Amino acid sequence: MLSTLTPGPASWVPPSTLPVGSVISYAAPTGLDQPTNATYPPPALAAYALHLARLGWLLCDGRRVAVARYPRLFRAIGYLYGQALDQQGQVQAGFFLLPDYRGRVLRGVNGAATDPIGPNGAEQQRDPDADKRPAQEAGGWAGNAVGSVQYDALQTHVHSYQKAGSALQVAQQGGQGSSQNQTQDSSAPQSPTGEPALVRLSEESRGKNQYVHFLIRAI
C-alpha cells in the first residue's frame, strides 16, 4: 500500500545497486531556489536540503564537504572536482569539493570517440577542444577527463558574399562618378525571403531548456 504523501522531498532511499557517486536529476525544490511568493510546496527553506542529505543525496552545487562525513563519496570522486581552499587560498585538509552542475549542460566524456567531421570527412574528436578543457576548480581534473568544464563558444565559420564595388570603380565603368555602397551592414538574422527574422537575443547561444536540480549519491 502506498503511504500518504507529505510536502517536501520524496522519502525514496537509493537502492544498493546505485553506486555512490551516481548523479540523478531532481524536479522538486532543494531550499535554495524557492520563490518568495510560492504557495505549494511550502517554503520550508532549510528542510529540503537537510532531508535530502539524510537520505544520502547532496545537491551538486560545488560546495566543500568533509571527508570524514562522506568517506565513500570521497573514495569515488576524491579531488576530481577540485581541492577545498581556506580564505588564504591554502588547501584545506579533510575536505573535498562536490561537482557544480548549476546552470551547466552535462556532456559525456569524449574519451577516444571520433566522428568524420574533419576536413574532407577526416575523423576528428567529437569534442574538438577536449584536451583544452579546464578543471572545475584548482586541483581538479582537466582536459579529456570527467569533471572538466567548458565555457560557451561559437564555432568558427565563414560566409561567402558578393563584395560591392567602390565609388571609383563605378565611375570608371561609366557611372555617375559616385555611388553609394549597396551592401547592407550585418544586422538581425534574415529569413529566406530576405525579411528580418524574429529571434530571441541573449548573452549565450542555447537550445530550449528547463531547470532541474542534480543530486549526487553520497552515502
How much is the pTM? 0.75
Closest listed residue to residue 30, CA positions, set 4, 3, 15, 10: 10
Q: Rounded to an integer, what distance in angstroms lies between the CA atom of residue 202 and that of residue 219?
A: 40
The pLDDT of residue 170 is 54
CA 73 to chain centre: 22
The pLDDT of residue 136 is 97
Owner of C-alpha cell 517536501: 8
First to last CA, the chain: 27
The pLDDT of residue 51 is 85
- Burial code (b: 16+ CB inside 10 Å, e: under 16) for 91-118 equals eeeebbbbbbbeeeeeeeebeeeeeeee
Per-residue pLDDT of the chain (219 residues; tens, 9 = 90+): 333 344 455 555 555 578 999 999 999 888 766 666 767 666 555 677 788 998 999 999 999 999 999 999 999 999 999 999 998 889 999 999 999 999 999 999 999 999 998 888 999 999 999 999 999 999 999 999 999 999 988 888 776 666 665 655 555 655 555 555 555 555 556 666 666 667 788 888 888 999 999 999 999
Cβ atoms of residues 92 and 103 within 8 Å? no
CA 106 to chain centre: 6
The pLDDT of residue 6 is 46
